[in-house]
Amino acid sequence: MPSGFMPGGAADELVAAEDRRALRRSLLAKRRSLPADEWARHSQRIRALLQESLPRLATLRVGFCWPRDNEADLRPLIAHWHRQGEPGFMALLPLVLAADSSLAFRAWSPTVAMTTDRYGIPVPASGEPVLPEALLIPLVGFDAAGSRLGYGGGYFDRTLASLRPRPLAIGVGFELSRLDSLQREPHDQPMDLIVTEGGLHRCTATPAGPPAATKR
């Protein structure tokens, strides 16, 4: 569509949204082509980093995701924390209740009955909603400032924007999804920490602050 037909700003937004979609497609293709043995090694390294560097997670209500599309597999670590049984720990899975809404969370344990959500992702079949204190959030793309690209549903952005207190946001992904810089949109909620097979990184952006490059 010729941009001259759009009112000021709207054309730029359309281009940005299309760029984001194209970027998401190419990053997803890259992650899907990760060989199974590397995926398993990277997932294991990420679990070890989380366990060693963030031991307090074993005492919190932690939201994680059931892996799809070659996302890192955190289930063995979550199951380990569950078995360890420290007071305060609860494993939670996100639930899409409606498009354009925030995620709800239900307790998960290895024996809980499961069903699938609208995207075919396994979720606990029943249970009261529980508020997470920390979220392990899958990354389709990310940069060092903590800007994140997801599947495009905006679910984690809405969830982080609405929860009080805001849970600790830990982005989880692979180095192959790292970008030099990812344009942050007003609704984008930056990650506090990012963990990849390359290490655990504290992010340079803050939710309400200016872009990281202008901060120091």
Residues 32-91 that bind ligand ATP (CB under 6 A): none
DSSP state of 157: H
Answer for which of 23, 79, 96, 161 binds ligand FFO (CB under 6 A) is 96
Binding mask 111-150 for ligand FFO (x = CB under 6 A): --------x-x----------------x-----------x
Give the contact letters, 15-54, x = binds to ligand FFO (CB under 6 A), - = no: ---------x---x--------------------------
Please measure the distance between the N-terminal and C-terminal CA atoms of the chain and give it in whole angstroms.
Answer: 40
Task: Please select the residue that binds ligand FFO; options are 32, 41, 56, 68, rule is CB under 6 A.
Answer: 68
In whole angstroms, what is the distance from residue 172 CA to residue 179 CA?
14
Cα atoms in the 13 Å half-sphere on the side-chain side of 163: 24
- Alpha-carbon span 201 to 33, nearest angstrom: 25
Regarding 155 and contact with ligand FFO (CB under 6 A), the answer is: yes
Buried b (16+ CB within 10 A) or exposed e, 137-165: bbbbbbbbbbbbbbeeebbbbbbbeebee
Rule CB under 6 A: which residues touch ligand FFO? 24, 28, 65-68, 71, 94, 96, 103, 119, 121, 138, 150-153, 155-156
Binding-site residue ranges for substrate: 71
